[in-house]
Homo-oligomer: A and B are copies of this chain.
Amino acid sequence: MTGRERLFLFDTTLRDGQQTPGIDFSVEDKIAIAGMLDAFGLDYVEGGYPGANPTDTAFFTKKRTARAKFVAFGMTKRVGVSASNDPGLAALVQASSDAICFVAKSWDYHVRVALGCTNDENLDAIKASVEAAMAAGKEALVDCEHFFDGFKANPDYALACAKTAFEAGARWIVLCDTNGGTLPSEVRAIVGKVIEGGVPGDHLGIHAHDDTGQAVANSLAAVEAGARQIQGTLNGIGERCGNANLISLIPTLMLKPAFTERFELGITHEALSGISRLSHAFDELLNRAPDEQAPYVGSSAFATKAGIHASALLKEPETYEHVPPETVGNRRRVMVSDQGGKANFIAELKRRGVHVARDDSRLDTLIALVKDREAQGYAYEGADASFELLARQMLGHVPNFFAVTSFRCMVERRFDSVGQLKTVSEAVVKVMVDGEEKMSVAEGNGPVNALDIALRKDLGKFQDEIEDLELVDYKVRILNGGTEAVTRVLIESQDGQGSRWRTVGVSDNVIDASFQALMDSITFKLMKNRELAGLVAAE
């Protein structure tokens, strides 16, 4: 048909990814992640190690994928017992899975020191384990642990392990760079030698770690040398520095001619355009901020700040972007900053529905104001909503919804009536809405939280509109040393319609800076509501 060879993707997020410090999946997490991986189009989903812990045992009571092969991980049978008498192997074979991936020693040193058996006994264990899996009607895979270090120490024995697995009928023999320190040129050479040694490339997989920052390159080097399965994880999570990042690998395999001319995957281009969403959804599940600089999917992956590139980029994006951002569900961003030129501003405003002519003098005033504020410490590239608000104010589009006439906040720490040290934060805000003064008071976890609650307690006729506003992130950056320094506060907000926006405040007083960002957030929300309702023209 296409004449292209099929490459297979094996996800180990739920098994090796679970070794990431700080990550601990529940059964529900695993079910959700397996569903995401299956829907995306991965070929194999390794779920964990049934029998090793209660979570994994519970997870393997059912098959958890529809399309992808569902894989249980475990050790080869122990030396000294038969396959049918090994309880670990029995748990693996009984687990609900399509395939079993056995981890096997392939470095003779570890066979002797860690297993304490002979080289031949280890080969027998590999053979018997593969046969047991196949007898149970399952596909067998063998992860050759420490394969590259083992091959450097004793190439004949490492190769014998791989060949034993292949000859016993394993569908895949996976060469693992367990310590993660192997270099791409070494991977390339050793994979080539394994193929010469008699294990065909279409039965070889690569399992790389990122200890030199080259897990992706090692995986691709193995494919170039003939391997046809890649193991990796979502966002590159995993032990130590992580595993090969499938989120970086997949777009390269599907978009770069060097690979698309020779290979095809089981993933559609439509699915590929959801890969940014997949990556971010996984971070959401882990409750961590996505890496803004992640290849392909990071919010900065197609962002330009430089004046020297920005104007050319807008004219000829295809010569400044290595792939079109929409192919991976991302978008181009031209950052507003004091390094950017006029073209950046016009493009950024246009994207927000604000059209302004290049020779409009208000544009020069806006640029001068942004530069001046950025010199004071504002960072509009991280605060899109404050930028849009400032621009619309300069260009005459934003009503004064409310005006804060004064605020006060107080933090007090003292012994309470029962002798416990207690800290109380209280804030009072006076705000004019529609000619009427509202005064609100609130307590909070700290002064900013108290102010936030007090400010949003009663905004009169706008109160209903801000009920669904929620602060989701709050960042403080001190711009130069000491407690007398200038403080920048960035606030991220969201509402019930799923919108997210970021605002900024700067002051030598952290409370002032926070309050500016809070007010901008509310004003932006009110402006956004009107824009949606068509009451304020976009221009």
Binding site for B on A (CB under 8 A): 18-22, 24, 26, 28, 52-53, 75, 103, 107, 109-110, 113-114, 146, 149, 178-186, 210-214, 216-217, 220-221, 224, 236, 239-242, 245, 248-249, 251-252, 256, 258, 287, 292-296, 298-309, 312, 315-316, 319-323, 335, 337-339, 374, 379, 381-382, 405-415, 423, 425, 444-449, 452, 470-485, 487, 491-492, 507-512, 514-515
Q: Smallest distance from the beta carbon of A498 to chain B beta carbons, Å? A: 16
> Does B411 contact A511, Cβ atoms closer than 8 Å?
yes
Whether A295 touches B512, Cβ cut-off 8 Å, given contacts A28-B480, A407-B412, A482-B474, is no
Complex-state Cα separation, A521 to B58, whole angstroms: 36
> Does A480 contact B26, Cβ atoms closer than 8 Å?
yes
Complex-state Cα separation, A444 to B512, whole angstroms: 13
Complex-state Cα separation, A28 to B480, whole angstroms: 9
> Does B322 contact A509, Cβ atoms closer than 8 Å?
no
Note all chain B residues with C-beta closer than 8 A to A185. 224, 258
Complex-state Cα separation, A20 to B477, whole angstroms: 17
Q: Smallest distance from the beta carbon of A532 to chain B beta carbons, Å? A: 25
Complex-state Cα separation, A112 to B253, whole angstroms: 32
> Does B339 contact A183, Cβ atoms closer than 8 Å?
no
Complex-state Cα separation, A113 to B109, whole angstroms: 61
Complex-state Cα separation, A297 to B312, whole angstroms: 37
Jot down 6 A-B pairs with beta carbons below 8 A, ordered by A.
A22-B381, A113-B312, A211-B301, A408-B414, A470-B482, A510-B510
Note all chain B residues with C-beta closer than 8 A to A444. 483-484
> Does A184 contact B379, Cβ atoms closer than 8 Å?
no
Whether A471 touches B476, Cβ cut-off 8 Å, given contacts A213-B295, A305-B21, is no
> Does A406 contact B412, Cβ atoms closer than 8 Å?
yes
Complex-state Cα separation, A248 to B180, whole angstroms: 13
